Amino acid sequence: MKSLVMLLAVLMIPVLACKKNPKDPGEELPDAEIKTRVLSSGLSHVWEMVYGPDQQIWITERSGKISRVNPQTGAVSLVYNIPDVVSNGEGGLLGMALHPQFDANPWVYVVYNYGSPYKEKVVRFSYSGGTLGAPLVILDQIPAASIHNGSRLLITADQKLLITTGDASVSGNAQNASSLSGKVLRVNLDGSVPADNPIAGNRLWSLGHRNPQGLVEANGRIYASEHGPNNDDEINVILKGRNYGWPNVEGYCNGTTEKVFCTANDVVEPITAWTPTIATAGLTYYNSDYIPQWKNSLLLVTLKASKFIQLKLNSSGDQVTGTKDYFLNEFGRLRAICQSPDGKVYIASSNGSNDKIIEITK
């Protein structure tokens, strides 16, 4: 009997050795239960959120306010109120980006509308002593209007600044390489033109955009969300020097004239689109184990549809394989999104009255 027990024990060794470690990359983690709490309220038209290296959430409000929000207490501390911001229609203080090496370069980049005639500019401030100073104009004289001003900012892994601009209600300018409207622009962090841009001396990185309001880098790619007219809101992968069709193409290259234009201009089609429109806004990429069901997904907030959408990507990151909606009509219009290093997600409403920052946890 003793020898039989020993033999069975030996036979079981390979079986036990084959059991997966619960943290093996190949093993699916169970879905987390998603919870929300209102972190802050009493805000107005929150436009941008950035989870800063100081472990505070930096936000912009369209009226011109830049604030820091404590992610534990929700306390909102005003950093600076930009005096020359003019909030006209959809315009005002819009996107923001913080330098990745913030301790060494405490630079805060913002884009906003101002003046009469109405224009848009990108300004770099330096953060010191709890406020902003030393403004440096990175780019000025961007056409602006009461609609279609963009504008998100993104500092890429190669230390360039991307700026999305809308067509400022003049759709034809999106196809004009000499216009700053309807583009994704690319500049050095001091505002100069990179030597490897598609057109020498030109800030253009891509053209043919209507009103891009989401921008994120992940998987070695740049993703952007874009407002369509009454159809075809889009998610695009932004490629160097390429054309995205507007106003000649809406969404995919479907119609006869659209197909002709697409072929002639090497148009990039979206990786997904929505008709009727949902007013695609802030965009981030999620790859944390904290909420495992969101791994390798774009997370999108929307205005018109008043919801949060998970866009699951394929392994190469160039296709959307599925979508799931959250928080439909729960918080109203949603404009901005960011995430903490530990995987918590923060979204902000943009209803204009008692706007909120909402923390999403498990």
Q: For the chain, which domains are there?
A: 32-361 (2.120.10.30)
pLDDT given for residue 78 in this prediction? 98
Instruction: Please report which confidence band the pLDDT of residue 1 belongs to, taking 50, 70 and 90 as the band edges.
Output: very low
pLDDT in tens, 44-71: 999 999 999 999 999 999 999 999 999 9
pLDDT given for residue 27 in this prediction? 53
Q: What residue type is assigned to position 133 of the chain?
A: G
Question: Does residue 9 register a pLDDT over 80?
Answer: no
In 3D space, the residue among 287, 300, 284, 297 whose CA is nearest the CA of residue 342 turns out to be 287
pLDDT in tens, 60-114: 999 999 999 999 999 999 999 999 999 999 999 999 999 999 999 999 999 999 9
Phi, psi of 52 (to 5 degrees): -80, 165
Mean confidence (pLDDT) of the chain = 93
What is the reported pTM?
Answer: 0.91
Burial string for 147-175 (b: 16+ CB within 10 Å, else e) reads ebbbbbbbbeeeebbbbbbbbbbbbebbb
Q: Which residue has the tokens 């409403």?
A: 349
In 3D space, the residue among 352, 350, 342, 353 whose CA is nearest the CA of residue 72 turns out to be 342
Question: Does residue 7 register a pLDDT over 60?
Answer: no
Question: Does residue 310 register a pLDDT over 60?
Answer: yes
